[in-house]
Amino acid sequence: MRRRIQFSRFDKLLFFTPIAIFLIGVLSVYSASHKVDQSLGDLLAIRQLLWMGIGLLVILMVVRHSYFRWVDLAWPLYFTSLFFLVIVLFMPARLGARRWIDLGGFNFQPSELAKISVILVLSRYFSSNRIEFMSKGRLLEPFLIVGVPFLLILKEPDLGTGLILIPVFLAMLYLWGMPTRKLLLLIGAGLLASPVLFHFLKEYQRTRLLVFMNPNLDPLGAGYTIIQSKIAIGSGGFFWKRFYGRHADAA
């Protein structure tokens, strides 16, 4: 049954929805960054289109193959991502963090590979082990699968990427069949532990979390972007502002 997936059979709504969102984003980037005397090669929107084109080529190559092949590669990809997550900790720090490996003109971020490999490994694990037949000891295994890369990513430090793994993990536990009551207990335990864990964060991480809740704590610093976003949404309303109207004057 491991046949190639035909283009006529894959989820078109799932495929074209992000493309539509991307096109809206490109128009927004063009509107915000365009200048009258700017060359085509300097446009940020053109760079976004080029990267999107590369992404589409990768997608087309992926959907041509059965997902069973990717599941077969789950564990090798997982251990490869762990290897790079350890290696990156010995790389020179940039902006106070060690998140990238320089491959000669191209910066590789191991945490991005880790996100994909964790999802693949959990998918393979959950499909091979039914929750009703799992012992209490073995129920810790999926937590270890997520916990190891999670801690390595936090060590970089990269709190944002690490936190992304948590809702993904909870969603997959729910689809696996874990009772809602137990999931709520996990979420509750995490919330109760958050004040203690908060003090183990770095200063800039604590600032980001506090500013996310109340950007007015630092309106000209960490909260500036959030406040300006609110102003832009309030000013533009439902139908936005017209495109690149102010850039002609600014140029």
Residue 249: predicted pLDDT: 43
Question: Which whole number is the average pLDDT over 223-247?
Answer: 71
Amino acid at the residue 183: L
Please give the Cα distance from 106 to 83 (Å, whole number).
Answer: 19
In the numeric block, the tokens 């035909």 are attached to: 6
Instruction: State yes or no: pLDDT of 3 exceeds 80.
Output: no
Cβ-based burial of 121 (10 A; exposed 0-12, middle 13-18, buried ≥19): buried
Is 217 in contact with 223 (CB distance < 8 Å)?
yes
pLDDT band at 1 (very low <50, low <70, confident <90, very high): very low
Instruction: State yes or no: pLDDT of 247 exceeds 50.
Output: no
Amino acid at the residue 106: F
Residue 66: predicted pLDDT: 73
Q: How does pLDDT run across 91-113, given as a tens digit for each residue?
A: 888 777 788 887 776 778 899 99
Question: Which whole number is the average pLDDT over 176-184?
Answer: 90
Q: Give 152 or 56, the one with higher predicted confidence.
A: 152
Nearest to residue 157, comparing CAs of 203, 193, 191, 122? 203
Instruction: State yes or no: pLDDT of 132 exceeds 50.
Output: yes
Please give the Cα distance from 204 to 227 (Å, whole number).
Answer: 18
Please give the Cα distance from 118 to 169 (Å, whole number).
Answer: 9
pLDDT band at 240 (very low <50, low <70, confident <90, very high): low
Residue 108 phi, psi (nearest 5): -100, 130
SS3 73: coil
SS3 223: coil
The mean pLDDT value of the chain amounts to: 82
Q: SS in 3 state form for 89-153?
A: HHCCCECCECCCEECCCCEECHHHHHHHHHHHHHHHHHHHCCHHHCCCCHHHHHHHHHHHHHHHH
- Whole-prediction pTM value? 0.74
